[in-house]
Amino acid sequence: MIRVKVPATSANLGPGFDSMGLCLGLYNEIEIEETEGGVEIVQDGFNYKNCPIERNLLYKAMKAVFDECGKSPKGLKIKIESNIPATRGLGSSAACIIGGMVGANAMYGLLGPNDILSLATKMERHPDNVTPCLMGGFTVSCFDGERVTYSKMNLGDEISLAVIYPDSKLSTGKARTTLPYKVSHRDAAYNAAHSALLVSAIAGKKYNLLAEAMKDKLHQPYRMKMIPDMEEIFKIYKEAGAYGAYLSGSGPTLAAIIPTKEKESFSKEVCEKLSGKNYNFDIFGFDNMGTYVRKL
Ligand code: HSE
């Protein structure tokens, strides 16, 4: 029996489009058993629809590892307990891919972490969620179409991530249709400068720079029309004392980095201001370990 504990993630962080991500203390739990034949998947928890086995993302990820290793079990029983809300911009698809790949690799142990990362990125198409999901912490990743080059920093418990998400879903595919094919040199330079400032602010724990560093011109302005209360929620976050706020992944979750010691007063103020609106609100700590696998 193999058990995998796989975390949620939050990507982009404003200017770090398709590159930056944070690993959160919220997890899906997966149990994998080899059987004498067939594939059985039992799912429990958040927002998952039953779909044919061959379209199940976690199973597809396992199969990609079996194909890569040239080995395959006779049969499988997979149990998934999902706590990560799906299609909300909290890395649920990255968690399926990494959870499946790490679980499958634990059966044969042939691939190294960087091989898994590249295989997962090819399946997800961008590394911003899969890297922190596998490695933990705050990660910056570059993908050349074949391999991922990344840098990881551990995060302290003096900061936490507040998230607000509606009950409605938004797939990354749909959210990407709003993006322009070309952007101006000026906007590209703006994001390069803000990304650099963001990395420096996090590395140096200069959290007061985050409000400026999390500004973006490559995706948030275009996606705003799909996220109705985005500006209002950013304003609420700011008034409640957030260091900086951004659209988590492709949305619809809106995230803010906050001082952990202000967690209670921050929650109270945000919940009061959101009252009457149909939003979910939560605060998570960060996870510096990433995906954890055990063979029992
Ligand atoms: N970076 C992706 C996007 C989403 O903004 O479309 C998360 O992988």
pLDDT digits (tens, 9 = 90+) for 109-158: 889 999 999 999 999 999 999 999 999 999 999 999 999 999 999 999 99
Looking at per-residue pLDDT, the higher value among 166 and 92 belongs to 92
CA distance 218 to 228: 18
Confirm or reject: Cβ of 126 under 6 Å from ligand 1: yes
User: What atom of ligand 1 comes closest to residue 250's alpha carbon?
Assistant: 5
- pLDDT tens digits for 222-254? 999 988 899 999 999 999 999 999 999 998 999
Q: What share of the chain has pLDDT > 90, as a percent? A: 85
Per-residue pLDDT band for 53 (boundaries 50, 70, 90) equals confident
Contact 92, 82 (CB under 8 A): yes
CA distance 271 to 265: 10
CA distances from 39 to 54, 56, 249 (A): 10, 11, 32
| CA 261 to centroid of ligand 1, rounded, Å | 30
Confirm or reject: Cβ of 250 under 6 Å from ligand 1: yes
In order of their start, the domains of the chain are 2-153+287-295 (3.30.230.10), 159-284 (3.30.70.890)
* Rg of the Cα atoms in the chain: 19
Q: Ligand 1, atom 3: nearest CA belongs to which residue?
A: 250
pTM for this structure? 0.96
Please provide residue 10's backbone torsions phi and psi, each rounded to the nearest 5 degrees: -130, 125
- pLDDT tens digits for 154-209? 999 999 999 999 887 778 888 898 999 999 999 999 999 999 999 999 999 999 99
- Estimate to the nearest angstrom the gap between the alpha carbon of 169 and the chain centroid: 15
User: Two tokens at 35?
Assistant: 């059987």
CA distances from 294 to 8, 103, 104, 175, 256 (A): 19, 9, 12, 36, 33
Best residue among 93, 219, 246 to mutate for probing ligand 1's pocket (most ligand atoms within 8 Å of CB) is 219
pLDDT at 49: 64
| CA 250 to centroid of ligand 1, rounded, Å | 5
> Which residues, in sequence order, are CB contacts of 146 under 8 Å at separation 6+?
118
Q: Ligand 1, atom 6: nearest CA belongs to which residue?
A: 250
